[in-house]
Structure formats: structure tokens, C-alpha cells
Structure 1
Amino acid sequence: MSRAQRAPFPAGRRGVAASGAARSGGAGKAVTRTISEDPLGGTVRRTVLSNGLRVLTEAIPTMRSVSFGIWVSVGSRDETGPDSGAAHFLEHLLFKGTRKRSALEISSSIEAVGGETNAFTTKEYTCYYARVLDEDLPLAIDVMCDLVADSVLEAADVETERGVILEEIAMHDDEPGDEVHDLFARAVYGDHPLGRLISGTEETVTPMTRPQIRDFYRRHYTAPQIVIAAAGNLDHTTVVDLVRQALHGTPLDTDQGTPAPHRPASPAVRTRPATTLVETKETEQAHVILGSPGIDRTDERRFALGVLNNVLGGGMSSRLFQEIREQRGLAYSVYSYASQYADSGLFAVYAGCAPGKVDEVLELTRAELARVAAGGLTEAEIARGKGMSKGSFVLGLEDTGSRMSRLAKGELLYGDLMPVDALLARVDAVSLDDVNALAADLLARPMSLAVVGPFGAGDFATA
């Protein structure tokens, strides 16, 4: 198959604003603006259709591929107790067939051109994406919009995927290194939706009905809740037109709407008092997480948190890695991490070690956290932490999938896209005092402990 044609769209269409009347996918006037022409990236443009659906693109003519994603502002935290797992269940089902395509036709059409499709569910959003050659973008847009907007949710498919999801839950239970993260979330958030499993449980997935899932689908998969993002060798106007055409005649082909606002940061989620949860399993390795509530994703201290995390446990040169693995050989894997949501967050340290070494690992971890909380970091460590933050961010922009995700998350989670240079400047502006003040606050908080391994609940009663 020839790949000689560099541009997948007619040259006369490139760079034309799509602000006229929509032909389909929401009749009425769309509004387009150029967000940035970043020297480290491509031209970013944003169109809001009259039905409230948003389309963002980053045109990168030097690429030969395009990543196309449909992001929906719904995740596991939007479920009620009986609906626990519905967002993830739906993610599976949307690939099973529409009025136009069977499940086989959905997968084979993209694979036939060497592309790939996938999806994932988080606690606050769901994403469906495809990565294809630039010339095959029209096909990817048609297929992905079709499956997200017009799935039929056949009863037989519900039963098939129920079995698949129950196997996925069972497989997750056999991975203690993954299970401990869910246990820690429950230790901090308790019965709040942020403390529940994204997949749901066997008790919630087994009785879930097709009408229940379909109601969740139609309530949450609306045009104002959806952001479409694409990055690579593309033309913004053409992408918008193709999206309109693909959505024509589907439930998302509505007349009027305004984009849904991003989740507010207040009121903050109430967390549980520090507690210890132990999942008893006869494993060869113990998995432990020690941590506390952190900061939300819009907190101005988030850049200082990135630097602090890098120095504490973000790499092989980090304090925890050097102390626990390199110098003492107590664990193969040890790292710190931060999870941030609209109105809450977590900061924690994970370690996997032999069961007999858990007490020593926890003692060393607590001592290091207390040392940093009391004495802070050094200027040299701050410089290294900044370099890690900037380098990982810029290097992560070297593929179209990362760029597409950046567009969508900026729009969906923050309501804005921070230019690359501005973000790097924010990291550069982090001072020693900023990091040490955050460390004194964050690392001195009462900490919860989650453990998966051959222990009883009483083994950590004083943890």
C-alpha cells in the first residue's frame, strides 16, 4: 500500500476555520479558536459544536500517524452503590456492536489498516481511542464515533461481557501488587466512590441488568459531557466535519447544548481517619502502601508536589530507592506516587518485599518521610527533581497518543490547556521553600497503611 502522500486531506482545506453552520452532528453555529501555536508542538485548535460537544486537535505535519480519542466525563465515582462497575461494564459493551457494525466489523475495520483501538475507565472519566496512519483517520473517526454514540447493547452481549468482567475481577484479585492500591484507596476514602473498585465487584456486576446499563449510558454519554481530541498529521476543519458526519442520526446529534463544566474542587472529599487495612493472602512477597490524603489536581502546589515526589521516590536516584533497595537490599520495588482528583488526592509510598522484612521497610520509610518533613530537601535535590519533571513531560510528548491525551485532559479536567512553555516555567518557578513547606504539611499528616500478604489484622495494630 502506497504511503507516498504526506497530507491526508486536500491542501486547500488546511487551516480553514470551521465556524459556519454545522451540516450534521448538531445543527447550528460552531465556534472555533486557535489555542496555541507552540514551538515545541503543533497548532492546537478547539471547536465547540452547537450541541456542546468539543473537538480539539493538534496538527503536527511531520507525523505520519494520528491518535483520535473520545473522552467522556464519567467514571466510577459517578456511580451509585448498585451501579458500581457500570462505567467499566459500558466500556466493554460499546465495542460489541452498533446499528451499523458488528463487533467483528468494528475491530477488523481498524486492524485491516494496521491501526489499533482500545479504551479505559478511570474514577473520573472514560476514554475510547484509535491510532492509525494519517490517511486512515476518516475511517477511525467514523468507527469510534459510531461505537460511542450508537451502541445497541444487545442482551446477549451483556451476558457475554459480564462473564469477561467477572474473570477480569478474579484476575485482579490474583495480582496483589495491584490489589494493594485498591485497598489503600479504601483505607483513605472508605465507602466514598473514590474508595471503590473501578471494575465493581462480583456482588455488583453479577445482578447488573441491561436496562440499568442502558440508563447509565444515556444519562452520561451526552454531547456536553464529551471531548474529542486528535493529534498528528491532520486538518482541524476536516476533523470537525468528519465528526459531524459520523454523529449524524445518532443520539448525540442534538440541536443545542453547552459544554459541561469541569468537576469543581470543592467541597473537598471527606477522608477517613488514618487506619490500617490488611488483606490476608499466602503470597511470597508482601505488598505495602503507606500514605495519606494529598492535594487535588488544581492545587497551586501541584508543581512542588511533582518535584517532592521525584526526590522522595520517583526514580533510581530517589531517597527511598537508594535507602531501601540500593543500600540495604530490602525490596525490589519501592516508589512514591501522587494521585490527584478534582476535589481530593493521595500521596503514598509503595514497597514490595519479603514478608519478614516488612517491619524494617516500614520503619525506614517512616523515618525518611519524617526526616524530609522536618528538615526538607536540599537545593541540589530540588534542581534534580525539577529536571526530572521537565524531562519526563517533554519526552512524553514525542508520540501522538500523549499529545492527544494532553489535549483532552486539559479540556476535560482543567477547562484549559496550559502551553508547554508555561508549564515548564511553572516547574522552574518552584522554590526550595515551596517544596519544604509542602513536605512539612503533607508528610506530617497521619498515615494509613494497606498490606497484602501472609499477615493477620493484628500484625499491624500499632502501625
Structure 2
Amino acid sequence: MIKKTELTNGILVISEQIPQFASCSLGVWVQSGTRNDEPCNSGMAHFLEHMLFKGTERRTALLLAQDMDLLGGRMNAFTEQEQTCLYTVVLSEHVAQAFEILADMLVNSSFDEAELRREQGVVCEEIKMVEDETDELASDLFYASIWPDHPLGKPIQGTIESVQNFTQNALFEYLHRHYKPDRIIVAAAGAIEHENLVHLTKRYLQNGWLMRRPVSQFSIEAGPKLWWACPPGGTPNPAAVINVKYRPTEQVSICCGWQCLSQDDPRGCILSVLDSVLGGSLSCRLFQEIREKSGLAYSVETFRSTYSDAGLFGVEVSCSAANVSAVMDSIRKIFRSILAEGITEDELERARQHIKSSYALSLESSFGRMSCIVQNERVWGRQISLEELCQDLDKVKNSDIIEFSREFFDLDKLTIAAAGPIYSL
């Protein structure tokens, strides 16, 4: 059963007790990500996530790692465009100790100057690594081409210049500005009782949130609507954009697509079906045409990224420079077919079953269950059951597919980003 409780300071506690599990996934989810980065602090959300692991008032970075290892648990974090998550997976008997460690990192991080300088070097190396990996680079170029003047179009890691300018004071200010109780979800799934999770949250997070350092030190003022909160635009681009960056590699990585649905758009099931039919399975059209029939590429797949007020859908593929033209012709051919005729009934039924099974399988782990209940709460404000998902999928018709495709997939406005041994497309 899924239960939720809102504390007096605004923190939302949500959990699903699964008695047959021996483990528990526990996470603190913050509704703040790279979308909250200002131009002068590009990459700050991601860097802050790194610095949470670098020591507190009571623990060094090494002691944090050792204390979690002593529990036999896994601890990690990730930063996305609109959220940051710090989580752990432990056996049920270690939940209280694991929670205390997470809370210590959030409430008492010291952001030590020496650790900060070392981590600046680490993140700069991460940025250089992305520059060397053409698939990551093509993805960043694609986002930048779609949203050139919005933080959704900026790389999560920031730039070397911005990262090198981060200061301890800027980290504390960012934390106070964005890590507010009413943006926090404490979530757990597995072998845990909801009442225990509420008790732990009250004990470690409700009082003294967030940092004990006086907020007045950071001159945080109320102001007009933050620029990063403005929507990037939900309509397709007025014209096609082509963005190519030369790299002396063996293959060209291509990322192409369009703006698409936001997270809460009721047509999400239609896009899920298209995602499955086009690039989400072994029998999908792109894989069968480009790899199996033509032998033009090893890897080809579709992707979808959804946010609170915008989204993307497209294709990712890597191939030899000599095959780029043929690959792009194949992609356009497949989308033309969808625009003209939609999909077959067999494809529609396979897609339905594939999506239903994939969703059910994702709930086999405690982390998958925790992630699911958090995203349902964030997007819908309620829990979406597997049965409800199945019902919505069963309502999708081929006429819906054609209507949707014609609204979003205008081939004359296809944005293409590529990185590899070519100079143009």
C-alpha cells in the first residue's frame, strides 16, 4: 500500500511497503535541477550534488563512504533538468542508520574549500569526457539546438569556465535558495513501514532544515518571477536546425528530432506507442530497417525527454561517415510512412504488450517502485496504477497515431545534431 504524509514544514513523505522485500530503497528527491542554474552558474545543481558526498561537520568524505559500506548499502545521486535525487538501497534493518547518513549530507555538508577545488577538477574532467564521447556530445548539441536560450538546452555538467568559478558561498546560497522543504519528497519502497519513515524524517529533516549557517549571510531576496521558470516554448521550431561538430573518430553520432509533449500531456500513451514501434524494441521499424535489413549501423533507437512544460522526441544513431546520408534517408522514409499511414494493428498490439510488460518489470525492484511513486506524485499528484495504464494504452487507435504524428513530426522542421568525422550534413 502507498501512503503519504505532508509535514508541517512542507516536506512530503511517501512510501510503499512491500512485505516480501528484504531491502528498502530510500531517497530524498528535490524539485531542483539544472533548469534552476543561472547563466553565471551553469552546472551548479550538478556540482552541488557532487559536493554533498565531500564531507559534513561530523564526517569526512571517506567516513561517509565507510559508514555506508558498513551497512552493506549502495548510495548514489543524480541530477536531471528538473530534479535532483540522493538515494540509498539497504537491508531493512539498516534503514534508520542509512537515513541518518543521507540527512547528515543534506543538512550538515561543509563544502570544504579543499574538497571543492578537487571536485572542480573532477567535474572538469567529466566535461572533457563528454567532449570525447560523440554520442553524449551529439545529444548536448541537439538540446542546445532546440533550446539555445533556455537552461533546458544547457549541458547538465555546465562548462569548464563556470565550474572553475564556483565558490563555497555560492554553493550555500544555491542550497538555501532551491532546497526548500516544499520542494522535497522523502520516498521509500520495500521493507519499511510508513510511520517509521515519517518518524525518521521528522527527527532528522523537519527541524533545522536546511543548513545551520544563517541565511542572511547570502543576501537572498524575493524578486520577480525567476527567468528559468519561464517555459521554453511548447510549439515546434519554426525551421530546421542542423548542428555539426567535427571530431576525428571512427563513427558519426547523430541525434535528431522535434519538440514534443510535456510530462502531464494526456496524449502520453500515444507517444509511448510510437516510441515502441519506431525504436523501442528488437522488432521496431528503425532497428529492422537500418540495422537488420541495410546493415548501416550497429545501434539505433528512439528517445523521449519530458519536462513540466516541454518535451523532446527523436532518434539516436551512430554509423560510419559514409553511411550518414543513407541512414538519414531511412529515418525520413520511416517517418513519412508513419505520417501517411500510421502503424499496423499488429504493431499496435505488440507495442501495447511491450509497454505494459516493461512497466510491470520496472516495478520488480525497490528502486523502480520508489522512482515510480515519486514521479506519479510529482506529475499527477496521485498514483497511476498498472491497470489504469493498460486501460489508457488499449484506447490508443491508429487514427490517434496519424493525428499525433502530423502535429509534431514535420520533416521540414527536423532538428539534427551530429558529432564525428564530418563537417556538414
TM-score by length of structure 1 reads 0.85
Q: Which has the higher helix share?
A: 2
User: Alignment partner for residue 43 of structure 2, among 73, 85, 91?
Assistant: 85
Which amino acid letter does the alignment assign opposite residue 449 of structure 1? I
1:137 has 2:108 as partner: no
Q: Runs (4+) of structure 1 moved beyond 3 Å?
A: 263-273
Kept in 1, the 8 Å contact 2:43–2:157? The answer is yes
The structural deviation recorded for 1:104 is 1.7
User: Alignment partner for residue 341 of structure 2, among 346, 350, 375?
Assistant: 375
The structural deviation recorded for 1:155 is 1.4
Kept in 2, the 8 Å contact 1:150–1:250? The answer is no
Which residue pairs with 2:217 in the alignment?
none
User: Alignment partner for residue 452 of structure 1, among 402, 409, 419?
Assistant: 419
Kept in 2, the 8 Å contact 1:297–1:340? The answer is yes
1:432 has 2:390 as partner: no
| CA–CA distance in structure 2, aligned partners of residues 271 and 197 of structure 1 | 21
Unaligned runs of 5+ in 1: 1-42, 255-262
Which residue pairs with 1:258 in the alignment?
none
| CA–CA distance in structure 1, aligned partners of residues 4 and 254 of structure 2 | 43
Kept in 2, the 8 Å contact 1:57–1:229? The answer is yes
1:109 has 2:67 as partner: yes
User: Alignment partner for residue 193 of structure 2, among 221, 228, 235?
Assistant: 235
Kept in 1, the 8 Å contact 2:7–2:206? The answer is no
The structural deviation recorded for 1:235 is 0.7
Which residue pairs with 1:314 in the alignment?
280
The structural deviation recorded for 1:452 is 0.5
User: Residue by residue, what CA displacement relative to the aligned partner does 1:269-290 show, whole Å, maximum 9, x if unpaired?
Assistant: 5775321000110110111122
1:150 has 2:108 as partner: yes
Which amino acid letter does the alignment assign opposite residue 359 of structure 2? F
Root-mean-square deviation over aligned CA pairs: 1.8
Which amino acid letter does the alignment assign opposite residue 337 of structure 1? F
Which residue pairs with 1:24 in the alignment?
none
Kept in 2, the 8 Å contact 1:265–1:298? The answer is no
| CA–CA distance in structure 2, aligned partners of residues 265 and 390 of structure 1 | 34
Which residue pairs with 1:205 in the alignment?
163
User: Alignment partner for residue 407 of structure 2, among 438, 441, 444?
Assistant: 441
| Shift in alpha-carbon separation, 1:193–1:266, aligned structure 2, 3 A | closer
Which residue pairs with 1:219 in the alignment?
177
Kept in 1, the 8 Å contact 2:49–2:84? The answer is yes
Equivalences for residues 289-300 of structure 1 within 5 A: 289-300=255-266
Which residue pairs with 2:291 in the alignment?
325
| CA–CA distance in structure 2, aligned partners of residues 152 and 248 of structure 1 | 20
Kept in 1, the 8 Å contact 2:4–2:14? The answer is yes
Which residue pairs with 1:119 in the alignment?
77
Equivalences for residues 38-437 of structure 1 within 5 A: 43-247=1-205, 249-252=207-210, 268-269=233-234, 272=237, 273-437=239-403
The percentage of aligned residue pairs carrying the same residue is 37
Which amino acid letter does the alignment assign opposite residue 210 of structure 1? Q
Kept in 2, the 8 Å contact 1:265–1:342? The answer is no
| CA–CA distance in structure 2, aligned partners of residues 419 and 65 of structure 1 | 22
| CA–CA distance in structure 1, aligned partners of residues 170 and 122 of structure 2 | 18
Which amino acid letter does the alignment assign opposite residue 344 of structure 1? A
Kept in 1, the 8 Å contact 2:143–2:153? The answer is yes
Kept in 2, the 8 Å contact 1:66–1:230? The answer is yes
User: Residue by residue, what CA displacement relative to the aligned partner does 1:299-335 show, whole Å, maximum 9, x if unpaired?
Assistant: 1111110001100111110011111100010000011
| CA–CA distance in structure 2, aligned partners of residues 409 and 331 of structure 1 | 34
Unaligned runs of 5+ in 2: 213-227
The structural deviation recorded for 1:264 is 8.9
TM-score by length of structure 2 reads 0.92
Kept in 1, the 8 Å contact 2:11–2:182? The answer is yes
| CA–CA distance in structure 2, aligned partners of residues 411 and 433 of structure 1 | 31
Q: Helix, strand or coil: the match of 2:343?
A: coil
After TM superposition, the structure 1 stretch with the greater mean CA deviation from structure 2, 78-87 or 101-110, is 101-110
The structural deviation recorded for 1:362 is 0.4
| CA–CA distance in structure 1, aligned partners of residues 92 and 375 of structure 2 | 22
